[in-house]
Amino acid sequence: MATKENTKTRILELKKMLNDYSYHYYVLDQPKVPDAEYDRLFRELQNLESQYPELITSDSPTQRVGAAPATAFKQVHHATPMLSLDNAFTEEDVLNFNRRIYERLELADTEKVEYVCEPKIDGTAVNLVYEDGRLTQAATRGDGVIGEDILQNVRTISSVPLVLHGGKYPKLLEVRGEVYMSHESFNKLNASASKSGGKTFVNPRNAAAGSLRQLDPKITASRDLDIFCYGIGKLQDGEFPKSHREVLTKVKSWGLKVNAEIKVVKGIEGCFDYYKAIGAKRSELPYEIDGVVYKINEFAQQDILGFVARAPRFALAHKFPAEEELTEVTNIDFQVGRTGILTPVARLKPVFVGGATVSNATLHNMDEVLRKDVRIGDTVIVRRAGDVIPEVVSVVLARRTKHTKAVVVPKNCPVCGSKVVKSEGEVAIRCPNYLGCLAQLKESIRHFASRGALNIKGLGDELIDKLVDVGIIKNVADLYSLSQEKILTLERQGEKSAQNILQAIDKSKRTTLAKFIFALGIREVGEVTAQNLAMHFGDLTKLMQANAGDLEAITDIGPRVASEVVTFFHEKHNRVLIQKLLAAGINWPKQIPSTDKRLNGKTFVLTGTLIAMSRDEAKERLQALGAKVTDSVSKNTTYVVTGDSPGSKLDKAKKLGVEIIDERQLLNILQG
């Protein structure tokens, strides 16, 4: 009869063998023994541990099934944040990504950046922590900083080593990976669920995510999950690799599974070649992928590139073309966007595509509708890519019947009834009632109250949304009939804040003609053009009565701008609202059209704090003399004017060799 000591020795032997067999089977794809032999040894270990439960350890292969169901998941802080990746859907997106990298790294076009390319597994991200080589923590991505503790469930995944392979692993290792479910396992799971009347999963990614969040690890163990590891978050008491390729080599040497399709390439051309090659074999892969990932290989270059928001600048997910499906167009109507553009929208018979049920799809514009010849009643191909708005790709003409109906372009805005317009050279049709159309109202108020326009301080996005949503404001002129009582009916609005807002609205009545023109939100009319119009006409009535020829006679105003201005002032709703605004008390000093244009052709940039006047005042005086005042320094800038505490614009001016002047020199220029 075997003694406890002999049993302990045998258990150690079995654990070592089984872990080694798992490593060769799951990581190296080189099985050492047949499945039957592995199963026999596994059962032997189970029997021995059942005889001596005190000899069971957490790294035993038998413990992957886990303990009793948990009642909740506790939160886990990641040692280093788990970031998302920016997405690219076109080659142009990828080329722009590559261009930005070359610019930030200050590389010549002839130099080839080294990229690591890998399939983008459509699974769920996890973070694994190994201390002294043993798996001690596993968590979901969560919000990138805090995830859910899923250790007991991850332990059931055979390709996740409970103990790292080899002996040269670091004291602490944080590994990132993607847990997924193969096509075969997914089909088996859904077939079983369907047979038993249970819930089926929509796609392998959802199945993997749902399986990882089971409170009972035994259920997770039955789901046949797998993993590919793709990076390191933290490494303590060990030499950190110098490149991403070295990371993958190290991770694999420690017994963690790495995707065999990963490849290192030179330059963006190599990335595109890889993308095409993986796309061609996508259907043959045993797991779901939705694109490829490009990462700068050298960590020194990654450090220079850094991060933006919640994504690294050195990595990009290049998504594959969207999934497609057939359905029928039941209707086509028009939605009015916040800028007044009318977009045709196809109403569809609900169809499941790209992992979601789709019942609406954009048709972009009328030119697109006519080019594709989409009609109501047509059978169409619908495409959906990730979270991108579904679109109609094409019509299946072979299925067209005589009962289909062509799309009729609306003559009037479906929201406010204004006659729609289409500017020359544009494909979009628009509602010109920018100030009064409810679909455009929030955007028009935000612009009207902005700093460069009427500058109504305290009138933020949240308050504007509330005022419009409850119907207190139906056009910009209603701002001037606001009362404290009306504001106090809104949530989280106190008397003091209401008084401040009303004071700011009252203060905004005293403005300039240029600011008022800009505040109207006429398309193509920015601050500089508004200033030019104010200086040329000196009177709002004259501007409103001007024709295209009058406008095109002004410097820097071409046919397109002239057309937009004429269209805006010909719209009855706009003229009525302007009269309401003037009646509410908006006023400005009488302005005599300027004839002194000695700064024509000169471009100024202001930076820092001026003493004799504000930057806005300096800007107006310069524009009155025909100068352009811009916010960014370029080779075309004539002067950069510096006040106290100038910003980065001064550095750029020095770099480009642009002439730099101080406030005293500016005053000399203004005084002639």
Q: Which residues are catalytic?
A: 120
CA distances from 450 to 405, 454, 457, 493, 578 (A): 45, 6, 8, 21, 18
DSSP codes of every residue in 536-554: HH-SHHHHHH--HHHHHTS
Cα 321 to Cα 89: distance, rounded to the nearest angstrom = 7
Cα separation of 104 and 314, whole Å? 10
Of 159, 139, 113, the residue nearest 19 (C-alpha): 159
Give counts: helices (H), strands (E), the chain: 24, 23
> 544-547 contacts: CB < 8 A, separation 24 or more?
544/569, 544/575, 544/578, 545/569
Residue 513's alpha-carbon distances to 79, 408, 473, 588, in angstroms, are: 56, 41, 24, 6
Distance CA 120, CA 122 (A): 6
**Tokens read off for 325:** 């499906």
458 close to 504: Cβ distance less than 8 angstroms: yes
The residues, any chain, with a CB within 8 Å of residue 292's CB and separated by 6 or more, are: 117, 118, 119, 120, 271, 274, 275, 278, 317, 318
Q: Which helix or strand (DSSP H or E) is residue 436 part of?
A: none
Q: Supply the DSSP symbol for 26.
A: I
The amino acid at residue 353 is: V
Number of Cβ atoms within 10 Å of the Cβ of 226? 22
How many whole angstroms separate alpha carbon 627 and alpha carbon 525?
17
Q: Is 335 helix (H, G, I), strand (E, B) or coil?
A: strand
Q: Which two tokens stand for residue 340?
A: 């007044």
**Residue 612: how many CB atoms within 10 A of its CB?**
12
Residues 6+ apart with CB under 8 A from 262: 116, 117, 118, 119, 248
For tokens 């991505």, the residue is 141
Task: Name the residue among 145, 127, 148 with its Cα closest to residue 81.
Answer: 145
Task: Tell me if 253 sits within 8 A of 245, measured CB to CB.
Answer: no
What secondary structure does DSSP assign to 118-149, as a single string? EEEESSEEEEEEEETTEEEEEEE-TTSSEEEB
Which ranges of 290-388 does DSSP label H, i.e. alpha helix?
299-305, 366-372
Please provide residue 113's backbone torsions phi and psi, each rounded to the nearest 5 degrees: -75, 140
